[in-house]
Amino acid sequence: MYKYDYLIVGAGLYGAVMAHELNKAGKKCLVIEKRNHIAGNIYSEEIEKIQVHKYGAHIFHTSNQKVWEYMQQFATFNQYINSPIAIYKGEVYNLPFNMNTFHEMWGVQTPDEAKCMIQKQIKESGITNPKNLEEQAISLVGKDIYEKLIQGYTQKQWGRVCTELPTFIIKRLPVRFTYDNNYFNDRYQGIPIGGYTKLIEKMLDQIEVRTGVDFFEFQKNNDSIAEKIIFTGMVDQYFNYKLGALEYRSVRFETEVLDCENYQGNAVVNYTDAKVPYTRIIEHKHFEYGTQEKTVISKEYSLEWKKGMEPYYPVNDDKNMQLYKKYKKLAEQEEGVIFGGRLGSYKYYDMDKVVEAALEQVEKLL
């Protein structure tokens, strides 16, 4: 007989939703987590009374009413709307690409003028059917915006030239011909008051969780502890990289407490010039309209993932997707194991999509 119905590997958002739902359905669950804290990469920690997003900024946004209502059980969300700015060689631009950006770039005022400018630049570039991120970006917003706001940032974030990256990465960002700086098109948006860690704590409050436990070590002595395993770690690592290693991007943060009340006037400031070594600076208090005397900022440096680092972003280019397909086949054949989350399914998921996927998976299991 098994001691648990489910062993859930990873206490991030996917694992926590699965554990919560399975437990609610009467299944006995054990969650193990390699790090010494829960919440995965949405983990937040209080510094100077400010919720600091330790593994990068997370803004919850969704158009899925069911997912939004689901999340309300675990936290109250504030009214934060993400409106990052981009700085290129001292020039300041609004994001995402909208009439404010077009005005700042070209001095145009009307949507027609902006469209005309973009059309002219697309025509000059000769692109008809965009095949990579560079061509896709120019097709959406023209060459000037591509060169000042996309090219350098993207190459820093992905460590690859834009001609070798898939188009879908840039299609994540809205392009609109209205004066609207909301980074997302989604119907619902906000940051959980009290922080993400508290939210995950609430999801897991009825469940046995062991942190600081590495699955591969644990497995050696607990081979048959649970009937089924939900694995949210790296799919290639699960199979001991036997088909080769998938590539991931990692992020390094330099976090500082500053003795000033307001450092940059915005939560997110992107530095789009390739020569600035970091991709963005996050000033955490602005996610919650903080009025503390001090502030906490994090400079974000993007780097290639190597063993021992935390993986953040799957590199969904052709080469990696080919390899992932093979791992996916293995994963499907792996009896009693379900793979999920950003790492388990090697997918550039937003949080709402993670919740959606977990809820769907639970439905299948029950």
Binding-residue total with ligand UDP (CB under 6 A): 13
CB of 245 to ligand UDP, least distance (A): 21
Catalytic residues: 172, 176, 249, 280, 300, 348, 350
Q: For ligand UDP, give the closer residue by CB, 29 or 95.
A: 95
CB of 103 to ligand UDP, least distance (A): 17
Which residue from 68, 102, 153, 327 is in contact with ligand UDP, where contact means CB under 6 A?
A: 153
Q: Is the dihedral of CA 306, 312, 318, 320 positive or negative?
A: positive
CB 68 within 8 A of CB 191: no
Q: For ligand UDP, give the closer residue by CB, 16 or 95.
A: 95
CB 311 within 8 A of CB 250: yes
262-301 binders of ligand UDP (CB under 6 A): 270, 272
CB of 84 to ligand UDP, least distance (A): 7
Radius of gyration in angstroms for the set of CA atoms belonging to the chain, rounded to a whole number: 22
CB of 272 to ligand UDP, least distance (A): 5
Is 104 exposed, middle or buried (CB count within 10 Å of its CB: 0-12, 13-18, 19+)?
middle
91-120 binders of ligand UDP (CB under 6 A): 95
Rule CB under 6 A: say whether 150 interacts with ligand UDP: yes
Binding mask 166-205 for ligand UDP (x = CB under 6 A): ---xx-xx--------------------------------
Rule CB under 6 A: say whether 154 interacts with ligand UDP: yes
CB of 172 to ligand UDP, least distance (A): 4
Q: For ligand UDP, give the closer residue by CB, 172 or 325.
A: 172
Smallest Cα–Cα separation from 153: which of 284, 313, 58, 280? 280
CA dist., res. 285 & res. 56, Å (int): 13
Q: For ligand UDP, give the closer residue by CB, 7 or 282.
A: 282
Smallest Cα–Cα separation from 281: which of 298, 295, 294? 298
Task: Give me the amino acid identity at 107.
Answer: G
**Interface region with ligand UDP, contact rule CB under 6 A, candidates 153-161, 174-182, 204-212, 234-242:** 153-161
CB 328 within 8 A of CB 338: no
19-58 binders of ligand UDP (CB under 6 A): none
DSSP string, 37-83: SSSGGG-EEEETTEEEETTS---EEES-HHHHHHHHTT--B------
Rule CB under 6 A: say whether 67 interacts with ligand UDP: no
Q: Which parts of the chain are beta strand (E)?
A: 4-9, 29-33, 44-47, 50-53, 60-62, 85-88, 91-94, 188-190, 208-211, 226-231, 248-258, 268-271, 280-283, 295-304, 313-314, 337-339
Which residue from 157, 181, 232, 295 is in contact with ligand UDP, where contact means CB under 6 A?
A: 157
Binding site for ligand UDP (CB under 6 A): 86, 95, 149-150, 153-154, 157, 169-170, 172-173, 270, 272
